[in-house]
Amino acid sequence: MTSTTDRAPLVVGIDLATAEARVAVADGTGQVVARGSAPLAPPRRPGPGESEHDAGSWWPAVAGALRGALHGLGDRVVAVAVSSTSGTAVLADGEYRPIGPALLYDDARAPAPERWDWLLARAGARRVAQHAWHASDLVVAHLTGSAPATDWSHALKTGYDPEARRWGPAGPAAALRPEVRAPASAAGTVCAAAAGATGLPTGCSVRLGMTDGCAAQLAAGADRPGRFVSVLGTTLVVKGASEGRLDAPEAGVYSHRHPGGWWLPGGASNTGGGSLASRFARSSWADLDRRAAARGPATTVCYPLPGVGDRFPFAAAGARELWSAPPADEVDAYRAVLEGVAFVERLAYERLADLGAPLGGPLRSAGAGGRSAIWTAVRATVLDVAIVGSATAETSFGACILAAAGTLHASLDAAGDAMVAPAGIPVAPVAAERAQLDDSYGRFVAALDEQGWLPWRR
């Protein structure tokens, strides 16, 4: 016998990332019932500041990931939404084929608002460009069989002003830019060709998405003013919600607009898990976690930067790793890096508070770094706030929430309330270590200020 739950309607979230396309299939309660993925062509970085992607690999990978996830489930899907990397730009012809490679978010050859102009100049007369799109738009075009509107989240870094609700200054590619609508708006329905390629049902709703970071933020439940999430992966990303728009380019802070009318400020630091990976073998992390927990606070203060330059909570192209003194041993060095990333996180929240977005209540945490018990405890102590993990803070699940808005649920808020699981058990600050870590944080800030990286503190 098939239960009602077994036949419940489903939504699909697509995450078009850099290395692969990922798909999640979920019901209206947020239970993920299937997943799929398919590799993408690797990025090409032929020279300094150059970062391109084979946009022709996007749709085949998305279609393959959908087929893998939807086996036996396609007839239950009522809606699908697409999220992709922020700032990735591509030109397409009248048959929705990409013209040349896409410029990835980290390509430095043209400012983000001028990327389509740059691509148009490079394309020349080889083929006639008819569409200036983001990565998500190209996928939506294949899903619907028509040229779609874009959402104001993906359009933020290509020159759209979500407050004034208009595109910025016109360049050579201005006539190719798409109409812009709110995330979660209807973009069309799945066409017969896309249904045959993916396993999605013909006629199911296609909804506009948000950028990968914003979708993951929705999935973590950091979607109302005062709620914030730190995503601790290779880098440290801090995102949250505020009543007003917060932008501070000198600190790497920018704001997306939520369809509910509030704003989603945040930024991304180059510190994070990559700071550990550049110094310690991954196979040693579990043992070092255990020994660092027993050792207590580090004897030295570290600003752990794996490369050169940082972008949040301060912008300093020449920033380099700093140590107040050599560590006593490997465990001391490991603990200092854990603390240093936590210090960057605290500085980020202090900067956001200065701009008008104080952290309220428990801090949500996601990413691989959040699975380290000692790192979470260090961060809670440095921040002096309880930290709760989030098992659902991933882009494909956030896209599921966007797909459910207006289909399974009346609004994006209602979809988030119904689908995001309650937070886990909070990790509280360690009172016995608070004073020492406060002192280390003061030394950390003084060291950065001495380098001239924190002008707002003067």
Do residue 236 and residue 376 come from a single domain? Answer: yes
pLDDT over 90 at 438, yes or no: yes
> What pLDDT band is residue 425 in, cutting at 50, 70 and 90?
confident
Do residue 160 and residue 236 come from a single domain? Answer: no
Residue 406 placed within a domain = no
**Secondary structure element (H or E) that encloses residue 437, with its range:** helix 431-450
Residue 441 placed within a domain = yes
Residue 398 placed within a domain = no
**Secondary structure element (H or E) that encloses residue 349, with its range:** helix 330-355
**Secondary structure element (H or E) that encloses residue 379, with its range:** helix 373-383
Domain edge (last residue) among 194, 213, 232: 213
Do residue 47 and residue 184 come from a single domain? Answer: yes
Bridge partners for 132 per DSSP: 91
Do residue 233 and residue 207 come from a single domain? Answer: no
> What pLDDT band is residue 2 in, cutting at 50, 70 and 90?
very low
Report the relative pairing of strands 263-269 and 236-240 from DSSP bridges.
antiparallel
> What pLDDT band is residue 447 in, cutting at 50, 70 and 90?
very high
Bigger pLDDT: 254 or 1?
Answer: 254
Do residue 319 and residue 182 come from a single domain? Answer: no
Task: Determine the average pLDDT of the residues in 218-225.
Answer: 91
Task: Determine the average pLDDT of the residues in 183-195.
Answer: 98
Q: Which two tokens stand for residue 239?
A: 């995102």
Residue 83 placed within a domain = yes
Do residue 451 and residue 365 come from a single domain? Answer: yes
Separation CA 144–CA 59 (nearest Å): 12
Residue 396 placed within a domain = no
Bigger pLDDT: 436 or 357?
Answer: 436
Do residue 332 and residue 183 come from a single domain? Answer: no
3-state helix, strand, coil in the chain (%, to 5): 35, 20, 40
First and final CA of the chain: distance in angstroms?
A: 70
> What pLDDT band is residue 3 in, cutting at 50, 70 and 90?
very low
Q: What is the pLDDT of residues 363-394, one digit of tens each?
A: 999 888 888 999 999 999 999 999 998 878 88
pLDDT over 70 at 362, yes or no: yes
Residue 245 placed within a domain = yes
Q: What is the pLDDT of residues 83-123, one digit of tens each?
A: 999 889 999 999 999 999 999 987 889 888 899 999 999 88
- Buried b / exposed e along 23-50 (16+ C-beta atoms within 10 A): bbbbbbebebebbbbbebeebeeeeeee
Do residue 25 and residue 104 come from a single domain? Answer: yes
pLDDT of 127 reads 65
- Parent domain of 94: 5-213
Q: What is the pLDDT of residues 141-154, one digit of tens each?
A: 999 999 999 999 99
Residue 399 placed within a domain = no
Domain edge (last residue) among 183, 213, 243: 213
Do residue 363 and residue 295 come from a single domain? Answer: yes
Do residue 227 and residue 204 come from a single domain? Answer: no
Phi, psi dihedrals of residue 93, rounded to the nearest 5°: -90, -170
Do residue 22 and residue 139 come from a single domain? Answer: yes
CATH number reported for the structural domain that contains residue 82 in this entry: 3.30.420.40
pLDDT of 359 reads 75
Do residue 192 and residue 295 come from a single domain? Answer: no
Average pLDDT, the chain: 92
Residue 394 placed within a domain = no
Bridge partners for 409 per DSSP: 405
pLDDT over 90 at 125, yes or no: no
Counting the structural domains of the chain, the total is 2
What is the three-class DSSP state of 387? strand
Domain edge (last residue) among 153, 187, 213: 213
